[in-house]
Structure 1
Amino acid sequence: MDVHALTMLVQILDAGNLSEAARRLKMSRANISYHLNQLERSIGQQLVRRTTRRVEPTEIGLKLYEHGRTIQNELLAARESITTLGQRLQGRVRLSVPSGYGQLVMAPWLLDFKRHHPGIVLDVMFENRVEDLMRDEVDVAVRVLSEPPQNLVARDMGPVRYVACASRAFAEEQGLPQRLEDLRTAPLITAAVIGRQLRVAAYLREERHEVLLEPTLISENFLFLRQAVQAGLGVGLVPDYVVQEDVDRGEIATSLDEWRLSIFGTHMHLLYMPNRHHTRAMATFIEFILRRARTSAERLAASATDA
């Protein structure tokens, strides 16, 4: 069997359609289609099902894909070991991080990683959607999720705790919520899923409650939400890292601290494809970020214990 054709099958299925595969391989769509047809003819079976928008593997196509991916990863590893022999760490990592967590928490980690590994190109996207890593050619994504997708490797980066908070001026003039139900009538500042009522999970001594809320100011940009809370426009329901500095300075007060609140999930996860070749650059980056996340989680836990 032609190894080149097998690895091309991997590229086609990774891309999701023939046009995208042609773009990545810098070939014409007709040429890609011809090589795929030749491979199917040589095997005598259909390897992919074609629709107007996507190609999906058949059962035999999926088995060949897995073998092709293993071969491709070995070839990439061999090539990297030769080209990087005696050189400093090089490569590229394409990373997708949430806007708030990425800027408020991860930015110093990323800058520090870049200082330690100047030869590695970091391509960082700040966004909140859970994208298709395969389609968007993302190496690593960081997301808050209740349940990570089963088709991805998920590494735990630590818990995410939401807090109810407001500026000192707002707290003194209008008061802070004292009961979970008080959130229903408060002018709420938070993120929400477009087109859905905001459903908040709340845990008190491991007993789970739910409350449906109607925010008055909504955004996916947590830096903007932080500014709205600072401006005294209402009660923020945001991850603790968004307002931690303001809380430490006494500029923002929190309430319902005995509750563990969650909107999109209780843990931050680092996600990547299970069968994609890990370059030395990518493997080094993943371990660096996980190490920083563990240190950060330990510090927060120690602070909570001291408090």
Structure 2
Amino acid sequence: MDWDKLRIFHAVADAGSLTHAGDVLHLSQSAVSRQIRALEESLETTLFHRHARGLILTEQGELLFDATQAMSKRLDAASARIRDTEEEVFGNLRVTTTIGFGSIWLAPRLRKLYANYPDLSIDLMLEERVLDLPMREADIAIRMKEPSQADLVRKRLMDIRMQLFASPAYIEANGMPRRMKDMTQHRLICQAQGATQVSAGAMLVRELMTYAVERTLTVNNYFGVLQSVVSDLGIGVLPDYLQQDFPQLVRVLPEVESNEVPVFLAFPEELRGSRRVQAFRDFVVEEVVAYRRARQIAAQ
């Protein structure tokens, strides 16, 4: 099978358009069209349904696209390993983590990483969906649970707990709850129970709701919960790691907290020798050590 034709097919399938694929490949639309027709003839099948809004893969096209997508990710991995040198850290590194951890804890600390490695580019993908590292949807991940895949290098970074926080202005205006049942007099800000979140956080919310809390504000990520709390809207269920960067927030009901949530860093075994991955891993570990040290000092 002609590799060049497969490359062109993959670009067309990804773009859904001959014109857009041609722009990416720097080929004319007619040249792209000829290559697709030639590939279809060699396979004796139709790969695309053509209509006014663009191209849609046929069943046979879907099968071929799955194969070319896997090939593309493997080639990207090989290219990344080839580009990594023993002395330099440069190029693009795709990092995925949750919206809350990425926006509240990780992103504000990246300045230090860039100071050490100015030629490194980070593609920070914040979403609750767990991306597939072996399939190269990302190079490295920070997850709120231990990864299940066997072919990943993993390191437990720290443990966090979900706790209750409010702004000083909110407490001054509404009073400080002393017992769990006092939460009925306050607005609870949290993620919706059906939203993707750490199970320990969902369990804490369910426990709070047993006290018939009627006023709530639900947000689909912890960064949104934090912004609502900072804006004096109520008492929020938030991860304890924010205390270091938001010392103005008031801990509410200090005896109330979730079970521990483990935080793991993971990356594919095939990237173990990557200088970019090593640099990012070392940076995160150093920041976690500094975070732990600061918490210990604050607790004294």
User: What TM-score, normalized by structure 1, do the two folds share?
Assistant: 0.60
The CA deviation string for residues 53-96 of structure 1, in whole angstroms up to 9 with x for no partner, is: 75475445534654565456546655x36xx6x87332123556
Shift of 1:142: 5.9
CA distance in 1 between partners of 2:273 and 2:34 (Å): 31
CA-atom RMSD in angstroms: 5.4
Aligned to 2:40: 40
Aligned to 2:186: 186
Aligned to 1:291: 285
Alignment of 1:1-307 (within 5 A): 1-12=1-12, 15=14, 17-18=16-17, 21-28=21-28, 31-45=31-45, 55=57, 57-59=61-63, 62-63=66-67, 65-67=69-71, 69-70=73-74, 73-74=77-78, 77-78=81-82, 80=83, 88-93=88-93, 95=95, 100-124=100-124, 130=129, 139=138, 158-167=158-167, 170-171=170-171, 174-176=175-177, 178-179=179-180, 183=183, 185-192=185-192, 201-202=202-203, 211=209, 216-217=216-217, 225-226=225-226, 229=229, 232-246=232-246, 252-255=250-253, 257-260=255-258, 266=261, 280=274, 282-284=276-278, 286-288=280-282, 291-292=285-286, 295=289, 303=296
**Maintained 8 Å contact 1:46/1:61:** no
**Maintained 8 Å contact 2:89/2:120:** yes
Residues 71 and 287 (structure 1 numbering): CA distance in 2 closer, same or farther, change over 3 Å?
same
Residues 243 and 284 (structure 1 numbering): CA distance in 2 closer, same or farther, change over 3 Å?
same
Identity %: 19
Shift of 1:291: 3.0
Shift of 1:239: 2.0
What letter matches 2:250 in structure 1?
I
What letter matches 1:241 in structure 2?
Y
What is the aligned residue count?
284
CA distance in 1 between partners of 2:96 and 2:264 (Å): 12
The CA deviation string for residues 80-138 of structure 1, in whole angstroms up to 9 with x for no partner, is: 36xx6x8733212355665653344213541121122122233557x55659899xx98
CA distance in 1 between partners of 2:292 and 2:94 (Å): 27
* Structure 1 residues without counterparts, runs of 5 or longer: none
Shift of 1:139: 4.6
Shift of 1:167: 3.9
Residues 21 and 277 (structure 1 numbering): CA distance in 2 closer, same or farther, change over 3 Å?
farther
* Structure 2 residues without counterparts, runs of 5 or longer: none
Secondary structure of 1:201 counterpart: helix
User: What TM-score, normalized by structure 2, do the two folds share?
Assistant: 0.61
